[in-house]
Chain A
Amino acid sequence: MKRIAADLWDGIRFQPARSALSVLAVCVGMTSLTILLAVMGGLRQKSRELMEDMGANVFVVMPGERTDIIHGDLTLDKRSMLASSLTGTIVSALRTFSIRVSNFSQPIRVFAVDENYFQIHSPTVTSGRNLDALDHATGARVAVVSDTLAHDANWQLGQAVYLGSSLYTIVGIVERPGSALEKETSDKSFVPDNTTLFVPLASSRSWMSNASITARKVDLIEVKCPEPSQLESTVSAARRLLAGRNEADAFTWITPASVLADVKRLERIIALTAGSVSLLCLVLGGTTLMSLMVANVRDRVLEIALRRTIGATARDIASLFLAEACLVTLCGSLAGLALAAFLISLSSGHFLLPVHMGASVVVLPLIVAVIMGMCFSYLPVRMATAITPAEALRND
């Protein structure tokens, strides 16, 4: 082992700049591959989170995004119709507001939710209580806030705060009401996050325009089926119920399958585009490695001849150059991993796509590096083994 290490070290320091260039070339390819794998891993993890957050038995109806038809309104009446027709389901409606509060320069997001909302979503109450049936029935001016918002605004339980011109009392603090839907839905105003505040739907009339009050409009209806297996039939039934005057087409239907399909589509697009770039980087890195190794073999003809004269077989020479290539690609791969991890941490929060540095993201590039080292060193290794000592000495 010591002898092999000494040989490898000799090979590396024979032309240090050349070795560094080889490592750099592999590093670039491996960085792109690692980032691609991290994004793919992030998307897969996001898919799992989506299923967990949304639930495999929940679907969402939102106002439509199509511009070629007249959209129908989502109203409390439609919620009631769905609730009465879709037996065994839990149907919830909510409306969102952007309300100014005294402690914040920016308006905060207020979710006015009905009594069923927290039967579908179950955020952990860290202190106080959740909104209860009485709050919803009486339209009590009480609010539940996320722990982040309570911390940022320095709000305490029992504290009265002005939401616009209405005075609300904070009765509960909840943890992580955010949803994986956040980045998947085109309209983020319907998705709660760590700075969202929840109030009873019945208490929100003071923020609504007269037209909204008349129409009893809501921004979102969520339906939770008893079992995931019933989701498809329930969606079909809901579509039929809202199909009057082709209204079903006028809504956006978000199901776990549609969300997953979106994620999968995104995954495919990224795999094709970023994957092509990564592949190109890898091939470029590999060909750079190959050309530098060819130069190395040519410069080390006498050394090869010497090794052959002291008893090295062609296989020994092949092993030497293969090991050198694998070492260079491994070093490049580790450097690429470190660089990718650094870039990901640097762009944390600014990166548009989810990333996840799992075990496969670390191990796969190392395996690819070794395979790449073997593939791209094939030609230089063939050249090295083809050198006969007599010819090398004759041409010296």
Chain B
Amino acid sequence: MTGEFVGKGRGGKLLRLRLDWTGDQVDAVALRGDFFAHPEDGFEAAEAALAGIPVAALGATFGTELARHGVRVFGLEPGDLDDAAAAIMARAAGEGAP
């Protein structure tokens, strides 16, 4: 399934999160928005590492990967990914309800 979230999280900047998932597993995540991060290639590596993990582990994994790549992020918090994914999945569950 695929869903997109657009909104502001605790980090304060606009986040657009596109989530592709099967069951409770992430197939792919794309993060776009007004936030800041450096080094940028480290951010992109952390983003790529989100494929194949449980949806419930998005924020924790992203935080770990950012730290592993020495990335400083401003305007976005790892937990914002969990909130966005929860909103997407809640909407999907609502759309699937009778």
The answer to whether A and B belong to the same complex is: no
Interface residues of A (CB under 8 A from B): none
Interface residues of B (CB under 8 A from A): none
